[in-house]
Amino acid sequence: MDDSVGTAGTAHVPGLAALADDASKARIDRRSFLRRAAALGVSAPAAAAILAACGSSTPSSGASGGGSPSSSVKPAAPGGKKGGTLTFGPFADGEDYDPATNNFDFPNPPFPSIFEGMTAYVPGQPAGSPAQNLLAEAVEASPDGRQYHFTLKQGVEFHGGYGEMTAADVKYSWERNAGLIPLYPGAPKSQTSYYAGDFAGLQEVKVTGKYTCTAVFKQPFVPFETITLPWTTSGYIFPQAAVLKYGSLWGHHPIGTGPYEVVSYTPQSKMVLRKFPNYSGANEKLGAKNWYDEIVINMVPLNALPKGVALTVGLQSGQVDFTYNLGALDVNRLRGNSGFRTYEPLAPFDYYFIAIDVQNPKLKDVRVRQAIRLALNIPEIITANKLPLSTRQDSLINKQIGVGYWAGAPTYTQDVKQAKSLLAAAGVTSLDLQLANPLLAETPGEPSSAMQVIKANLAQAGINVTIIETPPTSYVSKAGFGGLAYSYYGGAPDPYYQFEWFTCSQIGVWNYASWCNPTYSSDENKIASTSATAQRDAIAIEMQKLMDQDCSYVWLSSAINFAASNSKTQAIFDRNGNPLLHYFYST
């Protein structure tokens, strides 16, 4: 790919105009645009230039989440009879519920209530607990890690009268989501799965019987077992016949095997789910309640989700039973009111950090970057972001992920005297830097307050910081153009996903520090193909040591997904704080 190609060189790329239109109208987020543009053969700099020309302010895909649920009201026992309606909202509608092309690719509602995969993580289990079988009766990996053999549960029905799930449906779903076959008959080549990376190296899915099949990879790909099967939307199974019927509109007519089927959907307004009468009951063995007869989701446009008090208006007026994506202040306002339950599930896969652009001439000397790190008072930054200090994170991989945690990561404390000494040693007598958040409007918490604290901290060491509320696209896309970036990323339950955004190939896309370490990038491939936990731990720790040594990033904290329900509703969350509607129940 020629990275020198500008926007003029992309004028005739098939499908790019429609993609740019989606970005300009905020129907897709920045990460989705850049990933899809790359699939069309457009370089990262050219794609970023197109975004700038569109004036895109698309929202982040790296959505919020949390781990083990904690609540100001202890989880209550189920009460009364099953049935009734659960109303949830407001929900930012991505207008696409195709497992291969939606804006999320993680268990964001309503996906896991409609669709199911071969395995799933059970909420409430300890960190690092393996996934449990859901649609699979048995899963067996080959000794070389290149094949996964599946035996399916029998009698599992699809919604809408599409019949019983068989191995042929697994083959179609995965090969489609892996980008090996067209999204639908007649789909242009420019329209392909956004999440082929979840199946890296997949050659084919061999059907070996009505209820047996084998996924065959070119080389071992461990995240298939830890992320793709139990976590991503791309691992879900659906009927080929439904895709053939709806074609490009399949994303508006999702058909799965889950406990709830879609009975109506009005984009940006409402989706109604109804309990599927022929449900197999597979998730009940994993603790799901499937309590309600109907789930109503009140929707708003993707880029129009209200904030602050406006988010809780529906809950307080009784129009909805549950809402999430709240802030700490919203939860504090409702806490103690007997009419509501508040929740603060941890989001250990999601993280806040500061990226230091190592290719900026002012920041090339590692001593300058070390001075910045020592000038920061990280507890003050976390507090300004309205998070507890217990969320502090000293390295990229959180302990809750279970693999790759660096227990010996250094905890840096503010040392202004040493910071000034490092600047002097580097020959720096004055330093002016810019600080920005490339996705400020879509960053949860209190990003503006956190950046003000960062500015004040650095001023103590004689570093003058100018905060840019709306940075140009080049702040990210052009290596060396940026300075400091206060950032928030969403993650997944495997270190592979966390690491992939900081490789050399991500410079100009998601690697805000413009940092390139060939050893790190090579290790990222190794951790994907290595299955032994001890070896994966060692690789992950070495990668984090490289990041720490080069001082290209300053890690701040993990996240919390603040949420609330009425007192009659008990919400349940997955290990990254995503609400699992089919686990909810009445008290």
Which is more confident, 386 or 21? 386
Predicted local distance difference test score (pLDDT) of residue 40: 57
The stretch 554-566 carries a mean pLDDT of 97
Q: Looking at residue 77, what is its pLDDT? A: 87
User: How many other β-carbons are positioned within 10 Å of the β-carbon of residue 518?
Assistant: 9
- Confidence check: pLDDT of 164 > 50: yes
- CA 539, CA 364: separation in Å to the nearest integer? 26
Q: What are 390-449's pLDDT values in tens digits?
A: 999 999 999 999 899 999 999 999 999 999 999 999 999 999 999 999 887 678 889 999
Q: Is the CA virtual torsion 175, 180, 186, 189 positive or negative? A: positive
- Kindly tell me if the per-residue pLDDT of 34 is higher than 90: no
- Examine the pLDDT at 47 and tell me if it is beyond 80: no
pTM to 2 decimals?
A: 0.84
Determine which of 24-38, 138-152, 355-369 has the lowest per-residue pLDDT on average: 24-38
Q: Which residues contact 42 (CB under 8 A, 6 or more apart)?
A: 5, 10, 13, 16, 50
Percent of the chain with pLDDT over 90: 79
pLDDT, greater one: 322 or 12: 322
Widest distance between CA atoms in the chain: 73
Q: What average pLDDT does the segment 549-574 reach?
A: 97
Query: 246-263 burial by CB neighbour count: b if 16+ within 10 A, else e?
Result: beeebbebbbbbbbbbbe
Q: What is the pLDDT of residue 538?
A: 98
Average pLDDT for 340-345: 96
Q: So what's the pLDDT on residue 36?
A: 59
How many CB atoms are located within 10 Å of the residue 277 CB? 7
Q: Please state, in angstroms and as integers, the Cα–Cα distance from residue 80 to each residue in 84, 292, 533, following that order.
A: 11, 12, 45
Q: What is the pLDDT of residue 2?
A: 35
For the chain, give the mean pLDDT: 89
Say whether pLDDT at 555 is over 90: yes
